[in-house]
Amino acid sequence: MKNIKMLTANDAVAYAVKLAKVQVVAAYPITPQTACVERISEFIEKGELKAEFICVESEHSALSAVIGASSCGVRTFTATSSQGLALMHEMLHWAAGTRLPIVMYVVNRALAAPWSIWCDHQDSLSQRDTGWLQFYAENNQELFDTVLMSYKICEDEEILLPAMICADAFILSHATAPVSIPSPKDIDDFLPPYDLKLALDDIENPVTYVPTCAPTREDSDWYMEYKYLQQDAMLKAAKKIKEVCREFNEKFGRFHGDLLEKYRCDDAEVVILSMGSFAAQAKDVVDDMRREGFKVGAVKIRTFRPFPVDDLRQLAKNVKAMAIVDRGFSFGHCGQLFMEVKSALYNLPDRPLVKGYVMGLGGRDIKYSDQRYVIEQTFKDLEKGFVEREIEWVNLRL
């Protein structure tokens, strides 16, 4: 008998945190994440989750507290959005560099200035260099499943990297959808307890966490190697993510894609790339256009980090044109997803046409008609044989 609850993404994450038996949570309120940590506090005060909740005085302190706790070998969680994530920036580097398997729920919300509480991906994409795994969820069920899977992936001895699980502001965070919740026993079977070697609280084997690596002394000059090891762990994570998604599917019967999800791409000439909740709508557009005879497919980028370089190169072999939709922008160049896709495909001998479309910044609705426009435009470019304007801002009030 399946246990299906009608939950917002915020609540779904709270349930996942409860079932993952997280031990220390530190969080600061920020719209639209607040309801998630409120629900977690409720679980703790009701006794349903045995954990310490630290009501910290800023997001910077939230991540610092969770870093301190994680280094003692306990399972930790925090959540934030937009301004809060930006405030945590310094400590994001710390968590990844110290190699701690912290899981953080990020509700993707636009960054000031101007002020906005609505959805775009700029907040998490701005943090792509920090060394955190980044997952983008399409719907509430995927979000719930990904939180559980990410503990398993991150706590692997060979990986030990933190992960942020991203969900669109309001579209997912505040929208109710059915979420199937596995039994606690099944989750315990899937997710073993966290065990850290050389933890901070090991009094018998005292260590100093986070020393200085000075390039001026040969025995201390290991900074670059530590960074290389972080990248090495990221590459191992790419493999582990595929493994764990397969395992999850076998055990719970759900597969949301691993690093990316391909929808009707096998014989597609044109493919539209999306990330986050609007990936769902892209599939509707694809279905309608397929009925009209267009050979089109949709790709959902599920992990922005580690970036699915190999999978995209595989895909690109059979596709003639790609439309990449960005919900963020790196001023002075182009959208972050477009930038990364282009660079992943550059060295291929035979490359598809690519174009970057910018949509939905500051929470502007990404409409069905916008996504349809993008696909039609791509087919036109394919006919012409070249892309006239590399970057197009769609639905802009010019």
Partner 1 sequence: MGKFEIIRGEKMNILGLPEEEYLYPGFGSCPGCGSFLALRHTLKALGKKAILVIPAGCTAATTGLFPKTPFKVPVFETAFETTASLASGVIAALKMKGKEDIVVVGWAGDGGTYDIGIQALSGAAERGENLLYICYDNEAYMNTGIQRSGGTPFGARTTTTPIIGKQQHKKDMPLIMAVHKIPYVATACASYPQDLFKKVRKAREMRGTRYIHILCPCPPGWRFDINKTVEIGKLAVKTGIWALYEIENGKFKLTGASRGLIDPSKRTPVKEYTKLQGRFSHLTEKQIEILQKWIDDQWKTYQQYIK
Partner 2 sequence: MKSLREIPKSPIAKPDIASVGITGNWRIFRPVIRKENCKKCLLCWLYCPDGVIRVDEEGYPEINYHFCKGCGICANECPAKAIEMMGESGYEEH
Q: Give the residues lining the site for partner 2 (CB under 8 A).
A: 97-100, 160, 198, 206-211, 213, 219, 222, 225-226, 228-229
Does the footprint of partner 1 cover residue 54 (CB under 8 A)?
Answer: yes
Prior bond of 215 cis (ω within 30°):
no
- Out of 1, 113, 203, 398, name the contact with partner 1 by CB under 8 A: 203
Residue 50 or 380 with smaller CB distance to partner 1: 50
What are phi and psi for residue 77, nearest 5 degrees? -155, 145
Mark 314-333 with x for binding to partner 1 (rule: CB under 8 A) and - for no binding. --------------------
Does the footprint of partner 1 cover residue 229 (CB under 8 A)?
Answer: no
Does the footprint of partner 1 cover residue 45 (CB under 8 A)?
Answer: no
- CA separation for the pair 273, 337 (Å, rounded): 9
Size of the site for partner 1 (CB under 8 A): 46
CB 27 within 8 A of CB 56: yes
Q: How far is the CB of 202 from partner 1 (least distance, A)?
A: 7
CB 109 within 8 A of CB 32: yes
Nearest to 173 by CA among 326, 366, 21, 39: 39
CB 117 within 8 A of CB 168: no
Residue 99 or 355 with smaller CB distance to partner 2: 99
- CA separation for the pair 68, 105 (Å, rounded): 18
Residues in the chain: 398
Residue 112 or 214 with smaller CB distance to partner 1: 214
- CA separation for the pair 233, 113 (Å, rounded): 35
| Residue 277 contact among partner 1, partner 2, none, beta carbon within 5 to 8 Å by kind | none
Does the footprint of partner 1 cover residue 76 (CB under 8 A)?
Answer: yes
Q: How far is the CB of 229 from partner 2 (least distance, A)?
A: 6
- Which residues, including other chains, have CB under 8 Å from residue 21's CB and lie 6 or more apart? 49, 50, 75, 188, 191, 193
Does the footprint of partner 1 cover residue 3 (CB under 8 A)?
Answer: no
Burial class, 350, CB count within 10 angstroms (exposed 0-12 / middle 13-18 / buried 19+): exposed
- CA separation for the pair 50, 33 (Å, rounded): 21
Q: How far is the CB of 286 from partner 2 (least distance, A)?
A: 43
Residue 98 or 330 with smaller CB distance to partner 2: 98
Output the DSSP codes for 141-152. Answer: HHHHHHHHHHHH
Residue 3 or 216 with smaller CB distance to partner 1: 216
Q: How far is the CB of 397 from partner 2 (least distance, A)?
A: 49
| Residue 396 contact among partner 1, partner 2, none, beta carbon within 5 to 8 Å by kind | none
- CA separation for the pair 382, 353 (Å, rounded): 7
Does the footprint of partner 1 cover residue 191 (CB under 8 A)?
Answer: no
Per-residue tokens: 297: 């497919």
Q: How far is the CB of 154 from partner 1 (least distance, A)?
A: 17
Radius of gyration of the chain from its Cα atoms, rounded to whole angstroms: 21
CA dihedral for 36, 38, 43, 49, sign (positive or negative): positive
Residue 47 or 211 with smaller CB distance to partner 2: 211
- Which residues, including other chains, have CB under 8 Å from residue 204's CB and lie 6 or more apart? none
Q: How far is the CB of 149 from partner 1 (least distance, A)?
A: 23
Q: How far is the CB of 272 from partner 2 (least distance, A)?
A: 40
Residue 4 or 224 with smaller CB distance to partner 1: 224
Does the footprint of partner 1 cover residue 90 (CB under 8 A)?
Answer: yes
Residue 23 or 140 with smaller CB distance to partner 1: 23
**3-state SS, residue 246:** helix
Using CB under 8 A, list all residues that contact partner 1. 23-24, 26, 50-52, 54-58, 60-62, 64-74, 76, 90-91, 94, 200-203, 206-214, 217, 219-220, 222
